[in-house]
Amino acid sequence: MSTNKVIHAIYNDDDVLMDAVRKTRIAHHHIEEVFTPFPVHGLDKAMGIAPTRLAICAFIYGCLGLTVATTMMDYIMIQDWPQDIGGKPSFSYIQNMPAFVPVMFEMTVFFAAHLMVVTFYMRSKLWPFKQAENPDVRTTDDHFLMEVAVSGNEEDMVSFFQNTGAVEVKVIEKH
C-alpha cells in the first residue's frame, strides 16, 4: 500500500484562499482538492478545472424525453386506443399535436432533470452509504482547506503556504 504526502493549508477567508490558489498554480504545485463551506465564485477557473459537459447531457436527456413522449402519445392516443375527444380527429398525430404539447414539455423536463441527477451522482462518485471524504470538519463551518501534493522540499512548501496567508499548514500522510 503506497503512501504519499499532502499538505493541508487552512484559510479563514475566501479571498485569501483565491489568492493562494492563484499563487499555488503559478508556483506549479498540484492542487488535489479544495474544501469550502460554501461555493466560492471563480474557484474552478482559478484551479484550472475544465468546464463541465453536463449541459450537453441535459440536452441529450431532454431530446430523449421528447422522443419518448412523442412515441408514447402516438402509440397510445392514435394507434392503440383512438378516441374522439372534443371533436379532434384520432387518425393523425400531427393534427392532435397542439393538445400534446404540455405532455411533451413535461416529459422533456422530467427526463432531463432526473437523468441529470443520476449522471451527476455517477460522475461525482456519490453512491449510497459512501463515507464522507472531508479531511477537516471546520470546512463545513467557516474554514477553507486546500490539499496540495507534496513535490520537492517539504519545508519549502510549508513556508510557501504560510506566506500565502494560511492560518494552519499540516503535512499529512495520505493512504
Q: Note the pLDDT of residue 20.
A: 95
The radius of gyration computed from the CA coordinates of the chain, to the nearest angstrom, equals 26
Q: Note the pLDDT of residue 152.
A: 77
* CATH class as words, domain 4-51+132-174: alpha beta
Q: Tell me: the pLDDT tens digits for 75-102?
A: 988 888 877 777 766 777 777 788 889 9
Q: Note the pLDDT of residue 103.
A: 93
Mean pLDDT of the chain: 89
Stretch 15-36: mean pLDDT, rounded?
94
Domains of the chain: which residue ranges? 4-51+132-174, 54-123
Residue with cell 492542487: 31
Q: Note the pLDDT of residue 3.
A: 55
Greatest mean pLDDT among 104-113, 115-124, 151-160: 104-113
Q: Note the pLDDT of residue 25.
A: 94
Q: What percent of the chain has pLDDT over 70?
A: 96
